[in-house]
Amino acid sequence: MYFFLRRMRSAVAFVLVLGMGTFGHTLARASQEWIPAGGPQAEGRPAVSVLASDETRVDVEVSIPGLYREMVTTPGGEFPRLSVPPEGFTAEIGRAQLPVIARWVEIPAGAKVELEAVAVEENAFSLDQLNIQGPIAPVQPPVPKIPGAREAMEFEMDESFYNRDHWYPLDHAELAGIEETRGHRLVLLKVYPVRYNPGKEEVSICWRLRLRIHLHGGDLEETNRRLRRWHSST
């Protein structure tokens, strides 16, 4: 597994693991067209980097050079979708399937975390401006790997979601859970580069986002002790 690593003076490492995979069920894709960020720009992948870190915070920047407009096939027919390969998608069945950039960030033992959006560069577009006809594709349930399962799938679309004037997701990013593995304590950072207002038929695309993960009450001595214990036992 490939990862980006930046170390603190205390020898605690903050890790951004690249390539979290897809969260939502991937629909069959029919075609793709590149939409560059802010004018002509070559196709490329999103960039996630640690700008600074110490025992009190981790500063992260996320930027995307553009995204893809594509058509996907569902049991209810073809629908448009925006994607940011190789990243995954939101996973709430029946609601719009939108890109999500997910990374694990290492934090000290005992630390409570709080997320702040420090700087946001985004633009709002009507679906017409992006040449998108119709609502954005809804997430469908996973297809069981048995003969005839795909043909028997029922179409899922949350009508109350699509008829409301609201932004989804509500925030540009969130901290979605903490895990511990091999002596490391990790928090999952999810970034939503595209937010959708189905009632107004608009999307807001975030080209660059600077985030700060505040760390409260972390124990660096305990963090290093856990890491030493793990590595000494392997």
The model's pTM is 0.84
pLDDT tens-digit series, residues 41-95: 778 899 999 999 988 999 999 999 999 999 999 999 999 999 999 999 999 999 9
pLDDT at 12 (0 to 100): 40
Q: Which residues constitute the domain of residue 129?
A: 3-232
Of 203, 206, 208, 207, the closest CA to residue 80 belongs to 203
Residue 138: pLDDT band by 50, 70, 90 thresholds? very high
Question: Do 64 and 207 contact (CB within 8 A), yes or no?
Answer: yes
CATH of the domain at 17: 2.60.40.3800
Region 109-123: mean pLDDT is 94
Q: Count of domains in the chain?
A: 1
Q: Are 218 and 113 in contact (CB under 8 A)?
A: no
**Predicted pLDDT of residue 39:** 63
